[in-house]
Amino acid sequence: MTYDEIVKDLSKIKNLKTKDLDLYNKRLIKEKINVNLLKDYVLENQLVHRTYFQVSLKNLMTIEKQLLFIEENEDLLQDWWHVDQLLQFINKKELEFDYIYELATQYIKSPKPFVRRWGYVIFLGGLQKNKNYTKKILSLMKDDEEYYVQMAEAWVICDLAVYDTKEVFKFLNNSKIKYNILGKAIQKICDSFRISIEDKEYAKSLREKLKKN
């Protein structure tokens, strides 16, 4: 399907919203439409960006093929801070920790900030809920100068705290990471509706100590 055909279809939808785009994309997925021709326009049009990734990924049957597709199209992730939306399009039930951990260790070394962001948020597909993985996920946290990578790390730390508060607080107390990431994580913990008031107060109490590190 061509870029012009898709743009024409979308132009017919009044007050187009994400849910409308998703319904349109689901039709393309159901009909197994090949959207490869959209690739050259992905960075020009955010609607096409979502369609290209959503339709392509949903038409791939295994998590290995889906993640390989993302890797092959990593240049198209630039300046797309919503890279976490890729989690909506992959087979999250097939996420296997050791496999994802190995990939993530490579992603977070990428010179491309949104690939590094993906290397962290990929754990939010459900792997963050298992306490057996908390320490290893936290071991990937490191200083990063890019704001959207910092926010990804903070988001993951906060989400881990929902399921394994004790281990996350131990990490915060001993981490050598700069405060610009740890402070963001604490703020997210304090903003979370899934973390107790007592734990939020303890997180706040760590701020002064961590600022001095």
For residue 81, pLDDT over 80 is answered with: no
Residues 6+ apart with CB under 8 A from 201: none
Residue 27 lies in a domain: no
- For residue range 101-126, list pLDDT tens digits in order: 999 999 999 999 999 999 999 999 99
Please provide the size of the chain in residues.
Answer: 213
Give the mean model confidence (pLDDT) for residues 20-41.
Answer: 95
Residue 125 lies in a domain: yes
pLDDT band at 202 (very low <50, low <70, confident <90, very high): very high
| pTM, entire model | 0.94
Q: What is the pLDDT of residue 78?
A: 82
Residue 74 lies in a domain: no
Q: What is the pLDDT of residue 212?
A: 84
For residue 161, pLDDT over 80 is answered with: yes
- Residue 2, Ramachandran bin (φ over 0: left; ψ between -120 and 50: alpha; else beta): beta
For residue 79, pLDDT over 80 is answered with: no
Residue 175 lies in a domain: yes
Q: What is the pLDDT of residue 9?
A: 94
Biggest CA-to-CA distance, the chain: 57
Spatial distance between the Cα atoms of 58 and 142, rounded to a whole number of angstroms: 32
Spatial distance between the Cα atoms of 138 and 153, rounded to a whole number of angstroms: 9
Residue 20 lies in a domain: no
For residue 22, pLDDT over 80 is answered with: yes
Residue 136 lies in a domain: yes
pLDDT band at 32 (very low <50, low <70, confident <90, very high): very high
CATH assignment at residue 194: 1.25.10.90
Q: What is the pLDDT of residue 194?
A: 96
Residue 87 lies in a domain: no
pLDDT band at 46 (very low <50, low <70, confident <90, very high): confident
Total count of domains within the chain: 1
The structure tokens listed for 85 are: 């939306």
Residue 115 lies in a domain: yes
Domain encompassing residue 117 = 95-212
